[in-house]
Structure 1
Amino acid sequence: MVSFELEQLYSWINSFLWPFMRILALVGTAPLFSESSIPLRVKVGLSALLAMAVAPALPAPPDISPASYQGLWITAQQVFIGIALGLTMRIVFAAVQTAGEFIGLQMGLSFASFFDPATGANTAVLARLMNVIAMLLFLALNGHLLMLGGLVRTFEILPAVAGFNLDGLGVLFEWSAQVMVSGMLLALPLIIVLLTISLALGILNRTAQQLSVFAVGFPISLMVGLILLTVVLPQTAPFISRLFDSGHQAMARLVHALAGL
């Protein structure tokens, strides 16, 4: 007859529950995995499979009741850590979308927007296009596998029962500045050219006032912007690739900071 104690049952539950909550929180917030087109059952199933694969290699957790205050607090900590890690990589894609917003504004396409189910708000067409390009590049470079690998390594640096240091959130706040910095750097080549065209049209309007800038300027800006996009977009892959590497490094820094290292 097989028998076990209640403490053993708690240990078995916790060895799966706490990694599962951290993984599920990352899957729910990280790029690619958190897309609304992916069914919720698939996300939960993927998180459960990863948790079952990771749990045997982790140290045995303490026999704490999952329904106790201490167990619920540890569960909440795992959710918080997973969300923080997912937002770290989400900032990379937010920077790419910001670049698309800047470019669309200069081209005069800021009004061309549609509802994006991924963000739950209206998104410019160019921002959505650049987000799709970044996502395809993320898959081509196995960025999703590197992100999951980094998540698995967090259990060694920051175990489930170790708690975390709130001062580590400063790394996330510092990294969030890349939304504007990297977004502007990515859009800078097109912005410079389009601003130069706008300046030239403004001078032309002052010298030849019978010429309507609103009738001529929009087609010129749109045509030049589309030509520049065909030239610049294929050259953005190295920059976005380095941005992905910086995102993975930011995840590592965040985990070390939360662990107080």
Structure 2
Amino acid sequence: MVEVTSDQLQLWLTLFFWPFVRITSFMAVAPLWGHSSIPNQAKAGLAALVAITIAPLLPPMPEAPIFSWASFGIMVEQIVIGLAIGLVMHIVFAVVQAAGEFIGLQMGLAFASFFDPSSGTNIMVLSRILYMVTLLMFLALNGHLMVLETLVMSFQTLPVGFAGLNPNAFELLARYAGTIFASGLLLALPLVASLLIISLSLGILNRSAPQLTVFNIGFPASLTVGLVLLMVLMTDIGRFLQPLFSQGLAFMQGLIETMADI
């Protein structure tokens, strides 16, 4: 008959619970795993499966009872780490959404929006299309496996019960959010610049010949040219997304190392 002592049960619980908290927090905000269309039971089951799988590879856990204030502090620490790692990938995917917003506004598609259940707000159709293309490209490049590998390796750099986190890491994360505007505008710049030239040309035409109904030709021209340029952009978007993914993964690893540098 197999007997399980209280010490063994405590060890098994700590090997599972605290990694499970970090992984669950990560999946709650990560773009792929945190989507609202995925049931919460599936997210919890996947997090539990990953936690059980990596349990033999984890460093020793702190000797703190599960039901104690020390355990509560460790749990909060794991939530913060998981959310910070997940927000990095959320920022990466927000870049293409921002680019879709810039392009859609310039093309006159600001009214073409719908409710996005994943974010709880209205989002432009073009932003949603670019987001789905980016997500498929991310899966095709095995980016989800690289992110999971980085998350698992974070337990070596930031073991459970690590003595504090470096606050400079969160300032670094806030500054990295500027990538949303900088890289998003860089992606949308060819279309925005071309459509801006068309708008300026139509404005000059309207001033020189007021009897012409520029508004009747302005919107179709901007929409047609925007769609053509968008087709050209989609053929080469992979060359932009690959460095963006690499930058996000590198920053994620650097963020983990910065949090451990105290």
**How many residues in Structure 1 have an aligned counterpart in Structure 2?**
261
1 CA distance for matches of 2:103 and 2:25? 33
Equivalent residue number for residue 71 of structure 2: 71
Equivalent residue number for residue 222 of structure 2: 221
Equivalent residue number for residue 190 of structure 1: 191
Displacement of 1:238: 1.1
**Unaligned regions of 5+ residues in structure 2, if any?**
none
The worse-fitting range, judged by mean Cα deviation, of 210-219 and 120-129 is 210-219
2 CA distance for matches of 1:76 and 1:25? 10
Q: Which amino acid letter does the alignment assign opposite residue 41 of structure 1? A: Q
Q: Residues 41-86 of structure 1: CA distance to partner in whole angstroms, max 9, x if unpaired?
A: 1111110010001111112212311110010110111011001100
Displacement of 1:4: 5.0
Equivalent residue number for residue 178 of structure 1: 179
Q: Which amino acid letter does the alignment assign opposite residue 202 of structure 2? A: L
Equivalent residue number for residue 54 of structure 1: 54
1 CA distance for matches of 2:5 and 2:170? 39
1 CA distance for matches of 2:57 and 2:45? 20
Displacement of 1:5: 4.5
1:161 aligned counterpart, secondary structure = coil
The worse-fitting range, judged by mean Cα deviation, of 2-11 and 214-223 is 2-11
1 CA distance for matches of 2:30 and 2:192? 29
Residues 97, 128 of structure 1: 8 Å contact kept: yes
Displacement of 1:213: 1.9
1:164 aligns with 2:143: no
1:25-174 → structure 2 map (5 Å cutoff): 25-162=25-162, 163-174=164-175
1:148 aligned counterpart, secondary structure = helix
Q: Percent identity?
A: 49
Two-structure CA RMSD over aligned residues (Å): 1.2
Displacement of 1:156: 0.5
Equivalent residue number for residue 244 of structure 1: 245
Residues 59, 155 of structure 2: 8 Å contact kept: no
Provide the TM-score with structure 1 as the length reference.
0.97
1:259 aligns with 2:256: no
2 CA distance for matches of 1:59 and 1:226? 53
The worse-fitting range, judged by mean Cα deviation, of 80-89 and 1-10 is 1-10
Residues 11, 62 of structure 1: 8 Å contact kept: no
Provide the TM-score with structure 2 as the length reference.
0.97
2 CA distance for matches of 1:60 and 1:13? 13
1:159 aligned counterpart, secondary structure = coil
Q: Which runs of 4+ in 1 moved over 4 A?
A: 1-5
**Unaligned regions of 5+ residues in structure 1, if any?**
none
1 CA distance for matches of 2:216 and 2:76? 57
